[in-house]
Chains A and B, each alone.
Chain A
């Protein structure tokens, strides 16, 4: 432990901590272009200069490790002058094309320019170094503009240090220096380049010109793409998501996300979602408001009451549902049908896997599902379910979720096997999840429309957050099950989200006593002995 004084205030720091990180942590403002906490220090932009007592020259705070007793000024006249000067240098060869630049609104150059005060350009247009390469498509969804580049080399370092490829380099010297593509990016992580570029030199082909960022609202949530659960921000407006960008979380994804997850936002928008439910009647389908639909379903389920109801009804939960939904489905089955026939070992769809983020499990919560399954001594497995189905024991099956591709891959003829069922109901969010055999399709809230938690591949419990609900027919599964019970003449209290989270965490062990608030923005990790075991096989 050490202590430093910044602008007269004393702070406790870890000896050797990077000064710029300390300032970020305690809320002291330091402008920067080149520094990125998850990349090596380049120290080339010179924006982060600060005054350190005993040192005649200003020092860059990104390459300064704090020592006990260090005294720092970040707002002295000397520092302010240096910042303004450095900024002017960065500006002189920069084009003035903010009105047609997609970075506008989240451009560091623009931000600092406003801060330092507007000065008239002392560099006549004809004097500027011409870098004619504008709007060059680099492939992998990235567009490059040489003139806007401030040569911070974040992109170079990202490719080299994170992706492990020398695909981007610096050519030439002096003010003719230019960033260049040395070989095709061909990586599933290219989208991060647009995020880390502090200016509009690297932009996303997908997002370009679609929307000015200042019109968008943000919701901090988790990527639904794979079981890494990268922390993200969903940017949306009028109930439409425009992009996902990663949020820094060093215990999960640092500051990155893969392009599969990044562009998966499209599948979370209304054109991919089930907006209204339906029931199959004869050879056709009939759309219905959800309460009405649940009423019809309730009648069918009630009809089972005379029979051995606990053995004639089963449910399956896909590995993309929230912990709270898993818990609620199990509670519903137990309370209403006295049944423990809930299949929780539904495998996740397979996908790309690498050493960086992609886990190969293309669903958000396989770990939560398997952890909850492990709690039971005698789980109702997929094999037992298949057996029951084959023997014709089952009258009604309810499916919860969208990620069924894994199950289908492991079970050829699955769709066929469901055919004989008198009642098949699916509570799903996405169109692609609808089973052709299902008699009932009930619209279930997608990730952006609900609150809850997921457990990631390393046992990190994280929060998904609701941004909006598309319409009144879309319900969270808990809400649907509550209604269903009511229509069946039973009572099923779903309870508050906080309570369910608590009970789920208690049930899986290891985090007893933890609450939704504890999960917070950063998530909480399960102790190592409780971490998901399903991956070890």
Chain B
């Protein structure tokens, strides 16, 4: 194995990695000095475009392109919102950045705001993450003290204020327009698009929403150049990303690896393989919303495009491994319960479909399902897909369809035997 490239996690091993001192000692805030007032905002956007940085919150949208949607000059204030809601099951990476290297995020926020012409940025942090808010709060105070935030930053004439906004523990508030509603003090319900946030976002003003990890990449991109970053990753997927690995692996944890790293390598080399060296039964490659992969599919390169090609998605980079002996009906029921609970409830297909699917799965799992229930599930999933305001309905439907396709025999066995054939003791 060649020497691992660490961008986001390079300081995680340092004592006091969360302090301004530790960050500046290792090259922190150098990008700001290089860029602010010296490179035009358009130049910054251009550089980020060429770096192939993709949105790491879930959708993988090219970040530079997203930034170019803000039309300039804007008559209204522009807002940058940082998405630290981290609600996707199987994902636990943004919290590590916010606690262990908050200054990297703050420097990224500063650079992105400069590129966008934003003078106010909000970091929206998942409600339960009080420890992240604490660390971020301290870091913001330090940065302000040192002149990296506030008025006339480093005498460049650029002003920026950064605020922390606590969420209240709803998964849906991670969806960017629900996040905006929540920030505005309303219930977190996604908005219809158009208009897109870049045109009408927070408080009616042009707004860009980016994930914590996405933004934390920006300082190194601008310091080392777009080509350096692009070369680290795979085709059209620049740099590294943080893979949250969990489930039946020997060494669960957050691994920073280049985009495109094969899933097999992540599971068997970095995460140490499957517990008890059991055979792998299935693996979710990109957070709970990503369609499941069978063991024969784990040679896929972990980037947005390669995963999309085999019918799954890169998503949030949350990898959940399931060993042989896992009941797939139970696993899917668990997921469906989550989506039914987290559906915001506006769209009829999602509001009713997620709950319906959960009930049908409960029935099958409990040994009370009928043969037509499997078709019904399929029909429910297809019925809600692509027909709603936000992709939460798809996030529930796509896994359902993938489990049904890839593990159909197991669903059929549940119905036939009227019990769970995988974990008989659990059956009702």
Contacts and interface: CB of A to CB of B under 8 A. Distances in A.
B349 A151 contact: no
A92 B354 CA distance: 12
Interface in A46-86: 46-47, 49, 57-58, 60, 63, 82, 85-86
B122 interface: no
Contact of A174 (B187, B355, B359, B387): B355
A44 B347 contact: yes
A49 B348 CA distance: 12
Interface in B159-175: 170, 172
B353 interface: yes
A300 interface: no
A46 B388 contact: yes
B348 A90 contact: yes
Contacts of B387: 46, 49, 57-58, 82, 85-86
A297 interface: no
Given A85-B383, A88-B383, A174-B354, A150 B348 contact: yes
A151 B351 contact: yes
Nearest to B195: A63
B389 A129 contact: no
Contacts of B341: 173-174
A288 B354 CA distance: 72
A89 B187 contact: no
A43 interface: yes
A152 to B, nearest CB: 9
A477 B118 CA distance: 72
Contacts of A82: 387
Contacts of A92: 352, 356
Contacts of B345: 151, 170, 172-177
B192 interface: yes
A41 interface: yes
Contact of A44 (B172, B187, B348): B348
B192 A46 contact: no
A49 B345 CA distance: 18
Interface string A163-206: 00000001011111100000000000000000000000000000
B383 A89 contact: yes
Interface in A448-473: none
A127 B386 contact: no
Contacts of B382: 85
Nearest to B363: A127
B10 interface: no
A161 B347 CA distance: 21
Nearest to A82: B387
B344 interface: yes
Interface in A108-164: 122-123, 127, 129, 150-151, 153
Interface residues of B, number: 31
A290 interface: no
B349 to A, nearest CB: 5
Given A46-B388, A82-B387, A85-B383, A127 B359 contact: yes
B283 interface: no
Interface string B380-393: 00111011110000
Given A58-B387, A86-B387, A89-B384, A175 B192 contact: no
B157 to A, nearest CB: 39
A41 B348 contact: no
B169 to A, nearest CB: 12
Interface in B83-132: none
B343 interface: yes
A58 B343 contact: no
Residue with the highest number of chain A CB atoms closer than 10 Å, among B187, B340, B343, B345: B345
A47 B352 CA distance: 14
B346 A89 contact: no
B351 A174 contact: yes
Nearest to B344: A173
A86 B349 contact: yes
Contacts of A46: 347-349, 387-388
Given A44-B389, A49-B387, A89-B384, A175 B355 contact: yes
B349 A85 contact: yes
A364 interface: no
B412 interface: no
Contacts of A47: 348
B342 interface: yes
A357 interface: no
B392 to A, nearest CB: 10
A127 B388 CA distance: 23
A58 B386 contact: yes
Nearest to B355: A175
A89 B192 contact: no
Nearest to A123: B356
A122 B372 CA distance: 10
A177 B351 contact: yes
B39 interface: no
B5 interface: no
Contact of A122 (B194, B376, B388): B376
Contacts of B386: 57-58
Contacts of B353: 89
Contact of A43 (B172, B383, B389): B389
Interface string A27-53: 000000100000001111111010000
Nearest to B383: A85
Nearest to B379: A85
A170 B187 contact: yes
A390 B353 CA distance: 79
A89 B388 contact: no
A151 B351 CA distance: 10
Contacts of B346: 42, 44, 151, 153
Nearest to A172: B345
Residue with the highest number of chain A CB atoms closer than 10 Å, among B170, B352, B355, B388: B352
A480 interface: no
A387 B73 CA distance: 73
A517 to B, nearest CB: 42
8 contacts: A44-B389, A58-B387, A85-B379, A89-B348, A89-B349, A173-B344, A174-B340, A175-B355
Interface of B: 170, 172, 187, 192, 194, 340-349, 351-356, 359, 376, 379, 382-384, 386-389
Given A57-B386, A89-B384, A175-B340, 19 more contacts: A42-B192, A42-B346, A43-B192, A44-B348, A45-B347, A46-B387, A57-B387, A58-B387, A85-B383, A85-B384, A86-B349, A89-B349, A90-B352, A93-B355, A153-B346, A173-B343, A174-B344, A174-B345, A175-B343
